[in-house]
């Protein structure tokens, strides 16, 4: 009788375990989730993971130190990552391509970096001044500590395998105005100079006035976007300047040197509003939406929220700056727009999105939004209407005995121990994946996950007749020729910017007649839940 009782207890526990929703790894997956791969670097170990929509680890890198903050997958398939004291680039096979000791070379890089199309890297770096130096800039010593940290932007050109040269620099210090001390050169009428920063705006921070925490680059405009958390503002500056022009008020494509071309979020800082006009609250991760995406040209921001403010909760927002004749427009001396283009706040799987520090967001080609919550180590995809399509929690934590902690399924990691600064989802046709096989995942990171198992099974059991399908590259005579006839639910073709250039439902045949400009494209052939990805090369 005792053995029978134990048997039924065992069966009950097995069934209960199966019924429990996962607490780490894949939490939710809808078939409408954007096809792509999510990259994240945990804050408390030295790994970088690339996972698919089933929560499987499809690729992994190991770095020499825990991250300074973030990482980026480059167009050539290499990975750029900021460590605590170094920048490092590794190739797809985890070999070190380039490393640079930022701290040892006097660059106090923090929070964010941004790779440029020319191979250079722009970095946020600390720019420190004594109280006496800031008093010389017209700052009121009564609101200034013994030392005050501002920020600067440095552009590094990698040299060899372990060196770099600074090829461009911009500083907040060069774009200050004040009406406190008439004996200083930057004395002026603050409310008539929205292009400058009032060095005496009293935000209560006597040692860290700005706290820049995010940077992005727009190649089409040759402009840089910066987040100033403690001022509740984001800024756009001209990158086309020389370093000398960047320190001045003239030069560059804009003709305004390094002055702000646009600023948004808190017009009280430049005396064009009150606290009631504030729209950003301790924000992070401003980004331009990529060219070719549904919302291209707009700016997304993780609007953290702040205690005892008009927004005590987190919101995800999108902003549409207005440019006429190459200049950002204003209304009554306040930069447009008046409010958000789109905003969302709410909960994901019953847990309210509310992060007072770090975290990030970005737009996907179809207009969906990715949301990364640092303290939870959670990254999710939602539609603009707030429908959840995908959610995942990082199952790894601090290094123990030279290896990262991997938490047990159904446990809850200690708050913050499994966090990441951000997580980035790259479309499946991202050019950086070209030439790399992502069809053989390593497996899930955690020990078990019923949702991942079901997702993997659904893909693996599909009877798909085109698994060995390929095209005859390069494409000639406006015809894509397959190696055999194929029946597919959907065939789509995308360019390297993620723009869809061809789509056909219920496709049947062995070729596609299409006119494409010479370039590399990516085809997706879908039947059921199975998707075959094929590179298409169109020659001259």
> What gap in Å lies between CA 70 and CA 216, rounded to an integer?
13
Distance CA 198, CA 192 (A): 11
| Phi, psi for 244 (deg, rounded to 5) | -65, -45
Residue 529 has a pLDDT of 64
Structure tokens at 365: 């080609």
Tens-place pLDDT, residues 58-87: 999 999 999 998 999 999 999 999 999 999
**Mean pLDDT of all residues in 174-180:** 98
Tokens for 225? Answer: 């976007």
Opening angle at CA 447, ends 404 and 423, nearest 5: 55
For 457, residues 6+ apart whose C-beta sits below 8 A from its C-beta are none
pLDDT digits (tens, 9 = 90+) for 281-331: 999 999 999 999 999 999 999 999 999 899 999 999 999 999 999 999 999
Q: Which fold has domain 463-538?
A: Immunoglobulin-like (2.60.40)
User: Which residues are registered as beta bridge partners of 65?
Assistant: none
**Total Cβ atoms within 10 A of residue 209:** 25
Residue 459 — pLDDT band, cuts 50, 70, 90? low
Whether residue 10 has pLDDT greater than 80: no
Q: What is the pLDDT of residue 444?
A: 94
Percent of residues, the chain, with pLDDT higher than 70: 94
H/E stretch holding 317? strand 315-319
The mean predicted confidence, pLDDT, of the chain is 92
Percent of the chain's residues with pLDDT above 90: 80
Which tens digit of pLDDT belongs to each residue from 205-241?
999 999 999 999 999 999 999 999 999 999 999 999 9
DSSP assignment of 225-268, as one string? Answer: EEEEGGGTEEEEEESSS-HHHHTSSS-TTTSSTTS-SEEES-GG
Q: Which tokens in the block code for residue 154?
A: 């440095």
Q: Which fold has domain 2-454?
A: Neuraminidase (2.120.10)
Each residue's pLDDT tens digit, 354-377? 999 999 999 999 999 999 999 999
Better pLDDT: 195 or 466:
195
Enter the tokens of residue 460: 């693996």
User: How many Å apart are CA 84 and CA 110, to the nearest integer?
Assistant: 8
**Whether the predicted pLDDT of 533 surpasses 80:** no
Beta bridge partners of 234: 227, 264
Q: What is the pLDDT of residue 3?
A: 42
| Model pTM score | 0.85
Counts for the chain of helices (H) and strands (E), in that order: 4, 40
User: In angstroms, rounded to a whole number, what is the distance separating the alpha carbons of residues 168 and 246?
Assistant: 9
pLDDT level of residue 4 (50, 70, 90 thresholds): very low
CA atoms of 287 and 197, how far apart (whole Å) = 21
**Do residues 538 and 475 lie in contact, with contact meaning Cβ atoms separated by under 8 Å?**
yes
pLDDT digits (tens, 9 = 90+) for 17-66: 456 899 999 999 998 999 999 999 999 999 999 999 999 999 999 999 99
Task: Look at residue 62 in the predicted model and tell me its pLDDT.
Answer: 95
- Domain extent listing, the chain: 2-454, 463-538
Q: What is the pLDDT of residue 522?
A: 82
pLDDT confidence of residue 437? 83
């Amino acid at each position: 009788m005792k053995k029978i009782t134990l048997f039924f207890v065992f069966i009950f526990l097995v069934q209960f375990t199966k019924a429990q929703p996962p607490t780490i790894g894949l939490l939710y997956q809808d078939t409408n989730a954007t096809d792509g791969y999510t990259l994240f670097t945990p804050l408390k170990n030295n790994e970088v993971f690339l996972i698919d929509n089933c929560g499987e680890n499809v690729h992994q890198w190991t770095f020499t130190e825990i991250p300074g903050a973030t990482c980026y997958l480059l167009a050539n398939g290499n990975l750029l990552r900021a460590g605590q004291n170094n920048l490092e680039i590794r190739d797809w096979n985890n070999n070190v391509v380039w490393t640079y000791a930022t701290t040892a070379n006097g660059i106090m890089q923090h929070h964010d970096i941004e790779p440029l199309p020319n191979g250079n890297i722009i970095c946020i770096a600390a720019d420190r001044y004594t109280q006496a130096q800031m008093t010389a800039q017209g700052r009121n010593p009564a609101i200034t500590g013994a030392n005050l940290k501002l920020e600067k932007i440095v552009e590094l050109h990698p040299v060899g395998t372990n060196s770099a040269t600074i090829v461009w620099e911009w500083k907040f210090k060069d774009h200050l105005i004040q009406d406190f001390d008439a004996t200083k050169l930057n004395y002026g009428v603050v409310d008539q100079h929205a292009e400058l920063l009032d060095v005496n705006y009293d935000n209560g921070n006597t040692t860290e006035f700005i706290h820049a925490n995010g940077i992005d680059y727009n190649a089409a405009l040759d402009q840089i976007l910066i987040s100033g958390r403690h001022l509740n503002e984001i800024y756009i500056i001209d990158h086309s300047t020389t370093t000398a022009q960047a320190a001045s008020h003239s030069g560059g494509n804009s003709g305004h040197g390094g002055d702000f071309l646009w600023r948004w979020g808190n017009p009280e800082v430049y005396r064009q509003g009150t606290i009631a006009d504030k729209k950003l609250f301790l924000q992070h991760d401003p980004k331009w939406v990529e060219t070719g995406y549904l919302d291209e040209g707009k700016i997304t921001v993780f609007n953290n929220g702040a205690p005892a403010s008009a927004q005590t909760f987190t919101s995800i927002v999108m902003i549409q700056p207005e440019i006429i004749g190459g200049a950002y427009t204003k209304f009554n001396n306040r930069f447009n727009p008046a409010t958000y283009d789109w905003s969302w706040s709410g909960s994901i799987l019953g847990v309210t999105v509310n992060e007072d520090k770090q975290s990030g967001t970005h737009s996907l080609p179809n207009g969906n939004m990715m949301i990364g919550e640092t303290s939870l180590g959670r990254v999710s995809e939602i539609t603009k209407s707030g429908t959840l399509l995908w959610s995942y929690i990082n199952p790894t934590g601090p290094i123990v005995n030279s290896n990262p902690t991997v938490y047990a399924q159904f446990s809850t990691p200690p708050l913050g121990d499994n966090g990441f600064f951000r997580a980035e989802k790259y479309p499946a046709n991202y050019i950086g994946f070209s030439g790399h096989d992502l069809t053989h995942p390593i497996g899930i990171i955690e020990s078990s996950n019923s949702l991942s198992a079901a997702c993997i099974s659904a893909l693996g059991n599909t009877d798909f007749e085109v698994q060995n399908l390929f095209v005859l590259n390069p494409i000639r005579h406006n015809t894509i020729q397959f190696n055999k006839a194929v029946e597919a639910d959907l065939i789509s073709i995308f360019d390297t910017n993620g723009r869809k250039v061809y789509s056909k439902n219920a496709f049947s045949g062995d070729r596609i007649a299409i006119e494409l400009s010479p370039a590399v494209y990516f085809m997706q052939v879908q039947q059921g839940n199975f998707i075959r990805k094929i590179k298409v090369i169109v020659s001259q």
